[in-house]
Each structure stands twice: as structure tokens, then as C-alpha cells.
Structure 1
């Protein structure tokens, strides 16, 4: 794959804005960057392009929240299921088109958001933690491997599990990290990482590092109530963006 100058400029802007969002609210980089980049290239290239910068953002988010070992101990079952699902989704991505999966995901998100208006809930998420961990972890991983939007499923899980702001950031980023590690390995084995991809990834890491510094300072100023409102607004915008991109 060979990137044009216009694509690299556009990608740099996308990476900066997406990384700033993730550094501020704890997630969002691959969810925003992937569909935007896919408008100028194919889905597989977009997913590969953001794989390495995503890992840096995940690790930095986990470290910034503290209690790294405790986070692993608590959420490793969810992260392991996400890793298995990511391996499955990545293999499918390497050999098929994932557009239909994006559309189905967007519909399910909209259903979830509007169902809250009619007091629809999923109490089984809290009543059967092992089952919900298996279902949401595996499905998040598969969808993440296919479309890079693992966070949407994990946010729904976290909201129903009544996780705090800190727990949402910790659990989602741990799952991202596990999922991205296996995805990077599979891409490398498949020969998907070209020299140009690796070089631009290193350049993007510098952009991401700047956004981390800015975003972490902004995150401290966001109240928990505002944070959860931002999450639901973010879900709605991403669902609409996914549907728009699929239709186009």
C-alpha cells in the first residue's frame, strides 16, 4: 500500500483529533479514526493504520488511572474474552468485507439508546456476571477485530454493570490493549505491516504523545455526571456515523 501526501495530511489531522478525544474521555481513538480514515482508504488499511498508536493510548490510559495490577486482576476475564474475540474478528477481516457488521452494530446501539426511554434494562448483566462477561467480552472482541469499534459494546456493558467513570476507563482500555496485542501479532504474521505503515505509525506516536499530555489535563476537569452524558452522546454520534458510512 502506498500513501499519498493528501492522505497523510488528512490522517495526521484525524489521528490528532481522535487521540485528543481518547486522552480526554478514556476511549474513542479507533472508533473515530477508523471510519474517517476508511473514507479515503479501505477498512483493512484503516484498522492496520491505527493499531500501534491505539496500543500507546491504551497503556497510557491504564497507567494514568493507577492500580494497574488490580485492574488486570479484576477485569482480566473480560479482557481475555475480548482477546479471543479480537483474534476471530481479525481473521474474518483479513479475508472478507466488514461493512455489514458495522451497520448491524450501529442499529444495535441505537436500539440500546432509545430503549432507555422506555425503561428497558438488562438486569441479567449484574445478576449473571460470568455469563455477561463471556457474551460482552467475546462479542466486543469480534466486533473490535472487524471494525475497530470494540468500545461501543464495552460501554453498553459498563453502563448496565453500573461501573464508575474510572472502572469504565480501566476495563475498556484493558480490553483494547489485549485485543490490539493479538491483532498486531496476527497482522504481522499475515504480512500486513509494510515499511510505510511502520514509519507512519512511529510518526503518529509523536502526535499521540502530545494529545495524551493535553487530554489528561482536560479529563480531570470533567465531572462524573457530565462524563456519562458525554458517553451516551458519543454513542449516538458514532452509531449515526457508522450508518452514514455504510450507506455511502
Structure 2
């Protein structure tokens, strides 16, 4: 099990280092092949938190981003507390299927992102709605992807601001997920914080390697391969639960 975790988080960290996101989605997607979504979610807490802080504070202007996106962040918190979806480990609902659908949708978005409309004019009212759905889906699947990432990418931010705003959203959602998992334990499924700490090391190494790969492989080519992989895996996860 330890070696599976090391390999998974090394791959996920490398992807995050290359394109700025993907650690929770990839690690959850791969780990749920061998363990439950609740167990997988507990393992990604520490690696996700540390790498998100790295991404958030790598540049300045954190307070400016908080002032701009606080309605979305508040929505994430509210959604994680009062989710409209069945939550991790507490329902007969197959959260693996929901996760697979999210991964596939995210992959399709990544492949056709250029056709997305500009969402900046609607930021004032759309932010809280997106945040709520993101928070609700976080405690349902362990991943904050849809609709937070497409929303932030649709605001027309500069690259550095986009990476930081993603880190901000990921940080808040990970904190909410950690609180949810702590307050809603599943019987006979302990929170394995030790293994989560172990997963941090390959995550950081993978993230460092990903930053090196970014300068060697054209980003657009890598993104296409990555998003195609998400579509394939997401579709498989959905079909597997039918």
C-alpha cells in the first residue's frame, strides 16, 4: 500500500508542478481503484495542503486575491457544511461515479477551453454560486475541480494571478475537507495521518520535477495528453459503477 501511495502522489505532484493543478483529482482517481474514496480523501489532505500553500505564497498579492474572491471562498465553506450531494462514506450513492463524471467534464473543459465565454462580467453573483457548488462537491468526492477551476480560468486573469487564485481556492477547500473528515468519521475507516505525511514527500519531489518538465515539453501538448487521460479515466469510472 505504501508503494502505491508513493507512486500515485509522485505522479500527481509532477502533474501539479507542470500545469499548476491536478494533485487531488489524479490522486483520488488512482487511489479509488484500490481503496474507498473516504480513505483516499484522508491521504491527500497533507500533500494537498502543503503544495497548495506553496502555490499560493510563491508570489505576492495574497491579500488582494482574498479581497477579490472572498464571496467564492465563503461559498466553498457554506457548501462544505451544507452539501446538497451525498457526502463521502455516508451514503449508498456511488461517489466514485460522481468523481469520474467530474474528471471527464474537467478533461473536456481542458480540451475545449478556448471556446469558453468570458465570465468576468458575471463575477459578482457567479462567485458565491460557484463556490457553494465547489464546496458541496468537495465533501462529496474529495476533489474541488468543477466548477471552480473553469470559473477561475474564465475570468481572464494573468497566468501568475490564475495560479495563485487556484492555490487559494484549493487551500480553502482542503481545509474544509479536513474539517469534514475529522467531524464525520466512517466506522472502521481510521484517518491515516501517518500515511498522509508519507505521501507528502513524493508529492513535493514530483512537484519539483514537474516544474523542470514544464521547460522541456510544450505546455499545450502536455495539457492535451493530460486532459485526454482524464476523460478516458473519468468515463471508465462512471461506466464501472453502472
Which TM class, normalised by the smaller chain length?
0.7 to 0.9
SS of the equivalent of 1:150 reads: coil
Residues 75 and 235 (structure 1 numbering): CA distance in 2 closer, same or farther, change over 3 Å?
farther
1:53-109 Cα distance to aligned partner (Å, 9 max, x none): 111111011111333222322222222212322334597223123134235435644
Contact 1:23 1:61 in 2 (8 A): no
Residues 73 and 217 (structure 1 numbering): CA distance in 2 closer, same or farther, change over 3 Å?
farther
CA distance in 1, matches of 2:19, 2:39: 26
1:10-41 Cα distance to aligned partner (Å, 9 max, x none): 11100111112212322110110101000001
Contact 1:83 1:175 in 2 (8 A): no
Residues 187 and 113 (structure 1 numbering): CA distance in 2 closer, same or farther, change over 3 Å?
closer
Residue aligning to 2:7? 13
CA distance in 2, matches of 1:207, 1:111: 28
Residue aligning to 1:209? 204
Return the match for 1:175 from 148, 162, 169.
169
Residues 214 and 241 (structure 1 numbering): CA distance in 2 closer, same or farther, change over 3 Å?
same
Residue aligning to 2:59? 65
For structure 1, the residue ranges without an aligned partner over 5 or more in a row are 1-6
Alignment root-mean-square deviation, CA: 3.0
> Which stretch of the first structure deviates more once superposed, 203-212 or 172-181?
203-212
How many aligned positions are there?
235
Return the match for 1:101 from 94, 98, 102.
98
> Which stretch of the first structure deviates more once superposed, 158-167 or 89-98?
89-98
CA distance in 2, matches of 1:187, 1:35: 18
Q: TM-score, normalised by structure 2?
A: 0.81
Residues 15 and 108 (structure 1 numbering): CA distance in 2 closer, same or farther, change over 3 Å?
closer
Contact 2:101 2:238 in 1 (8 A): no
Aligned residue runs from structure 1 range 44-123, under 5 A:
44-89=38-83, 92-96=87-91, 97=93, 98-106=95-103, 108-109=105-106, 112=109, 121-123=116-118
Higher helix share: 1
CA distance in 2, matches of 1:11, 1:148: 16
CA distance in 2, matches of 1:176, 1:212: 16
Residues 102 and 208 (structure 1 numbering): CA distance in 2 closer, same or farther, change over 3 Å?
closer
CA distance in 2, matches of 1:137, 1:88: 12
Residues 108 and 215 (structure 1 numbering): CA distance in 2 closer, same or farther, change over 3 Å?
closer
Residues 115 and 25 (structure 1 numbering): CA distance in 2 closer, same or farther, change over 3 Å?
closer
Contact 1:27 1:151 in 2 (8 A): no
Contact 1:58 1:176 in 2 (8 A): yes
CA distance in 2, matches of 1:157, 1:135: 11
CA distance in 2, matches of 1:36, 1:228: 23
Residues 28 and 114 (structure 1 numbering): CA distance in 2 closer, same or farther, change over 3 Å?
closer
Matched, 1:243 2:235: yes
